[in-house]
Amino acid sequence: MNSKFKIAVMLICSAIGGILIGDKASVLLPAVKLIMGAFKFVVIPFVFTSVILAILGIKNGLCKIATGTGVVFFALTLSAVVWAGLVAYSMPTSLFPPQEHVGANLPSLGVSEWIANSVPTNLFFALSSGNLFQILLCGVVVALAIRSVGGAPTVNRLIEEFHSIVHAWVSVLNRMIWILISLVIVWAVGTCGAQLGHSTAILILAMVLAIIAQTLITYSCVVSWFSNVKLTRFWTIAFKVWTTACATTSAAATLPTTIAAMEELGINKSISQFVAPLGSIANKGGTAIFQLVSIWVICVTFKVSLNPIIILKIVLVVLATSFSTGSIPGAGLVGLSLIIDTLGLPVAGFAIAAAADRLADMVRTPTNVVGDLAAAVVINTMYPQQTDELAV
């Protein structure tokens, strides 16, 4: 039996089980908290070590090109977030079924206080509290400190080994993820009602609309305005990558096809071999769309009051998470669990996104990979005389 079909059957059975059990599903709350804690347990050290290794991995001669690549990736991801926000803003809340059991306000801090709280005062407190911004800043500070003393091989190896161990933890968790998600869905549907399925359908619709805008408008404009590649040629080649990514739902598995497509577009081989692997980790426009739309659906479903400061915080958290959790297997969903925890959103909202994740992965992964193609043609145009620096 096809694994995707098995997952679909598992999700449907979980929803039916939640409906049948009803309020008695509340006994699963300790298990749900344990599952969310397990996600947090692996994501936090993974993010911390990923940031350090990413900064330490930039060779001195590559800083200019690496910076340019990072700027392009950030611009593409920011565009994805903007499209997700516009789609979310334009969709009427009347589409959602009425909810009687929820309604909450997230903690609202002033800008200055929020910035102050995002600055870490203690490395171990930042890691234990799970504050994403503090974790990222700590990682940057530690990496820059190591670089400032000319590198420390022993420390580097220690961080790399620990990162490998955490990656192994993530792999183990990823093998059990759909069993864990099934428990979350049974609990969420049982305690919150079958209306969560309605919210999942809206999430998928909004995500697809935002991804269409990101793919057809943003990528087309970037290629047309900032490169010498003809748009028709770009999309003819990009379609091959899109179909592969849709089938594999893995940027890593699509990497050989992506590199071959870049070289077919006339991109310098050294550029393609630099941008494609980096993009599979850091360029996550489709993932950012999924996460931001998920947060919006959760907030509307559970009547969570928002204000401009909280919206800004949501956008920044999504951007930070999409960059820092890119290489985690199942990064979209695992990263979303950290966002929900960071923002203090209802845990039941995780079930809404989890139910949509498998279908969402079939459209967000191609968006990520085609974004790598668009970024590569721009980088190739930006640094025509410096590509030899990347040669191994």
User: Domain 3-390 is of which CATH architecture?
Assistant: Orthogonal Bundle (1.10)
Longest Cα–Cα distance in the chain: 66
What per-residue confidence (pLDDT) applies to 59?
64
> What is the Cα 241 distance to its own chain's centre?
20
Give backbone dihedrals phi and psi of 305, rounded to 5 degrees, phi first: -70, 135
What per-residue confidence (pLDDT) applies to 42?
74
Tokens of 58: 């930039």
What per-residue confidence (pLDDT) applies to 105?
53
Check if the beta carbon of residue 193 is closer than 8 Å to that of residue 200: no
Q: Where along the chain do its domains lie?
A: 3-390
20 three-class SS: helix
347/185 Cα distance (integer angstroms): 11
Tell me the CA distances in angstroms from 75 to 232, 331, 365, 380, one per residue in order. Answer: 23, 20, 18, 16
Give backbone dihedrals phi and psi of 370, rounded to 5 degrees, phi first: -65, -30
Tokens of 268: 């310098």
Residues of the chain scoring pLDDT < 50: 1, 101, 103, 387-392
Q: What is the pTM of this model?
A: 0.81
Q: Which ranges constitute the DSSP H helices of 132-194?
A: 132-148, 153-175, 177-192
In sequence order, the β-bridge partners of residue 305 are: 105
What per-residue confidence (pLDDT) applies to 391?
45
Q: Which residue, 331, 353, 329, 332, is CA-closest to 174?
A: 329
